[in-house]
Amino acid sequence: MSIQFKSITELRAMLDDKSISSSELIQESLQLAKKYKELNCFVTMNEKISVKKASSIDLNEKTNSTLSGIPLAQKDLFCTEGLRTTCSSKILSNFIPPYTATAVEKLEDAGSITIGKTNMDEFAMGSSNETSFFGNVHNPWKKGYVPGGSSGGSAAAVSAGIVPAATGTDTGGSIRQPAAHCGITGLKPTYGRVSRWGMIAFASSLDQAGPLARTAEDCAILLNAMSGHDSKDTTSLNSNVPDFLENINQPIDGLKIGIIKEFDISDLDTDVQACFEDSKKNYESLGAQFVEVSLPNISASVPTYYSIAPAECSSNLSRFDGVRFGHRAENTNDLNDLYIKSRSEGFGDEVKRRILIGTYALSAGYYDAYYKKAQQVRRLIKNDFDDVFKSVDLLMTPTSPNTAFKFGSKGTQNPVELYLEDLFTISSNLAGLPAISIPHGQVNSLPVGLQLIGNFLREDQLLNASHIFQKNSDFHLAKPNLEDF
């Protein structure tokens, strides 16, 4: 029986009833990665070590972890000891980390097997996976179309059924938007829920790691393993981690869902609107109640983000100087020349653009007008969320204003055009809130995502509402046909 498109829960059952061994499962997953090489999901494979780990799991009969022997893919932004980690950038194209990120370590400690590192927008800067040094990732639903970004390789690998789940990171929508474009489920946890240690930083006050999977149930399995306090990350929350599977099946009678007045969905494609209206009806039939809420400052999220994220990025990426790791330019005259040439050769255009914006926003004379101002507006946005969560449990929006688009069709003339892709996702990063994207329809044979935003640390409510939706619909079961790959 093929393992392609199987969920973690299904694969666990196959492993437990011995219809497949862990070695067979890993071999098949690696074979699928090779078969669909043209999707360009992976930057580096981890074949030898994964085969070895699988055979050692087969030899050890005592397995009590859900993730034991399950193949996973890791976004190539998580440091993995001994396994090349590039952030899809030329500047890190030869980097072999001396340690493993906590989130990956926890998943591997739970028995999962990393089969490879996935392609992404360079340093997670992008919404289409078109900024990778290693080339574009194709959307499994349509060749030549973007998978979304920045976790595009992870989303495509799960969507194509190569692995049942993968890790991603989300700074402004980088888990949810590719999940939406590839027809899978993606969860951005509360800021601080999952350790950032060993994640190559883009914007430290916004970055958060999370799972991409075929179902909300599988996201809960991954989140259970990834979450928890880590003394190596000073922003890691020291709070209780519930079992996210335990209450996933609760009825949602009386669940109050807010619709954000300021997001005018009548501006969207009519088919995308229709999916949204249908999902409202679905939720109503399951017992949820809808109320209109106002977040007066939410429309300022995009400009706020594009001041804060580049500022943090310009500071974080100053560590790439060609001296201690990564690409170093040859034939340089002096130390300053070495810095300039190594960075200029190593970074792509979008990364350079964001470093320059951040440097400008943080420079003397502009700091108050751009950076501080954005952080003040950020508080207003967070205050708006605090207010609405006094009266609703969740908020519901589309994940993205549109479906996946053709390579090169957005943002080439004007970068802001691509930045607006994140219109619905950015605000939860600014406020540190958890949010999930689940598939809820198709337009022109391309998936459409529905976003639910939860209150601080309420991933349990998001997963519960998503699971109940998936139990009562089959959008998450749709598969791309992949015949063009």
Partner 1 sequence: MDQETVRTICYLARLEIDEEKSEKIQNDLETIIELIGSLQNIDTSDTEPLFSPLEMTAFKHEDIENSDNRKDKFLENAAASNEDYFLVPRVVE
Residues ≥6 apart with Cβ < 8 Å to 240: none
CB 142, CB 404: distance < 8 Å: yes
Q: List the beta strands (DSSP E) in 194-340.
A: 208-213, 256-260, 289-293
- State in angstroms the smallest separation of the CB of 262 from partner 1: 13
Residues ≥6 apart with Cβ < 8 Å to 148: 127, 128, 129, 139, 155, 177, 178, 179, 180, 181, 182, 400, 404
**Per CB under 8 A, does 343 bind partner 1?**
yes
Binding pattern for the stretch 360-379 against partner 1, x by CB under 8 A and - elsewhere = xx-x-----xx-xxxxxxxx
Taking CA atoms, 410 is separated from 90, 252, 349, 420, 449, in Å, by 23, 39, 15, 10, 19
Among 16, 277, 349, 387, binds partner 1 (CB under 8 A): 349
**Per CB under 8 A, does 294 bind partner 1?**
no
Taking CA atoms, 371 is separated from 172, 200, 417, in Å, by 17, 22, 22
**Per CB under 8 A, does 307 bind partner 1?**
yes
Instruction: Classify burial at 251, counting beta carbons within 10 Å of its beta carbon; exposed 0-12, middle 13-18, buried 19 or more.
Output: exposed
Size of the site for partner 1 (CB under 8 A): 74
Neighbours of 285 (CB within 10 A): 9
Nearest residue (CB) to partner 1, 232 versus 256: 232
Instruction: Classify burial at 149, counting beta carbons within 10 Å of its beta carbon; exposed 0-12, middle 13-18, buried 19 or more.
Output: buried
Among the listed residues 88, 89, 174, 342, the single catalytic one is 174
User: Per CB under 8 A, which region of 47-55, 161-169, 301-309, 446-454 contacts partner 1?
Assistant: 301-309
| Annotation says 150 is catalytic | yes
- State in angstroms the smallest separation of the CB of 361 from partner 1: 7
User: Per CB under 8 A, which region of 154-162, 210-218, 286-294, 325-333 contacts partner 1?
Assistant: 325-333
- State in angstroms the smallest separation of the CB of 54 from partner 1: 27
Nearest residue (CB) to partner 1, 254 versus 365: 365
Among 133, 141, 244, 339, binds partner 1 (CB under 8 A): 339
Among the listed residues 6, 75, 90, 106, the single catalytic one is 75
CB-facing half-sphere around the CA of 346: CA atoms within 13 A: 28
DSSP 201: P
User: Per CB under 8 A, which region of 132-140, 150-158, 318-326, 397-405 contacts partner 1?
Assistant: 318-326
**Per CB under 8 A, does 127 bind partner 1?**
no
Among 352, 401, 409, 471, binds partner 1 (CB under 8 A): 352
The first and second tokens of residue 422, run together, are: 């994140």
**Per CB under 8 A, does 44 bind partner 1?**
no
Among the listed residues 89, 150, 151, 342, the single catalytic one is 150
**Per CB under 8 A, does 194 bind partner 1?**
no
- State in angstroms the smallest separation of the CB of 197 from partner 1: 12
CB 395, CB 453: distance < 8 Å: yes
| Annotation says 382 is catalytic | no
- State in angstroms the smallest separation of the CB of 203 from partner 1: 11
Neighbours of 137 (CB within 10 A): 34
Nearest residue (CB) to partner 1, 60 versus 318: 318
CB 139, CB 182: distance < 8 Å: yes
**Per CB under 8 A, does 198 bind partner 1?**
no
**Per CB under 8 A, does 290 bind partner 1?**
no
Backbone angles phi, psi at 203, to 5 degrees: -130, 100
Instruction: Classify burial at 299, counting beta carbons within 10 Å of its beta carbon; exposed 0-12, middle 13-18, buried 19 or more.
Output: middle
Binding residues among 78-97 for partner 1 as defined by CB under 8 A: 94-96
Q: State how far the Cα of 154 lies from the Cα of 249, in Å rounded to an integer.
A: 27
- State in angstroms the smallest separation of the CB of 143 from partner 1: 29
The first and second tokens of residue 245, run together, are: 């599977």
Binding residues among 375-434 for partner 1 as defined by CB under 8 A: 375-380, 382, 414-416, 419, 430-433
**Per CB under 8 A, does 297 bind partner 1?**
yes
Binding residues among 222-241 for partner 1 as defined by CB under 8 A: 231, 233-238
Nearest residue (CB) to partner 1, 64 versus 413: 413
Among 336, 390, 474, 483, binds partner 1 (CB under 8 A): 336
Nearest residue (CB) to partner 1, 359 versus 409: 359
Nearest residue (CB) to partner 1, 273 versus 415: 415
Taking CA atoms, 214 is separated from 110, 162, 477, in Å, by 19, 11, 8
Nearest residue (CB) to partner 1, 34 versus 379: 379
**Per CB under 8 A, does 245 bind partner 1?**
no
Backbone angles phi, psi at 149, to 5 degrees: -160, 170
User: Per CB under 8 A, which region of 120-128, 149-157, 166-174, 299-307 contacts partner 1?
Assistant: 299-307
Q: State how far the Cα of 248 lies from the Cα of 463, in Å rounded to an integer.
A: 6
**Per CB under 8 A, does 458 bind partner 1?**
no
Looking at the DSSP assignment, which residues form a beta bridge with residue 451? 397, 437
Q: State how far the Cα of 401 lies from the Cα of 253, in Å rounded to an integer.
A: 29
- State in angstroms the smallest separation of the CB of 27 from partner 1: 31
Catalytic residues: 75, 150, 174
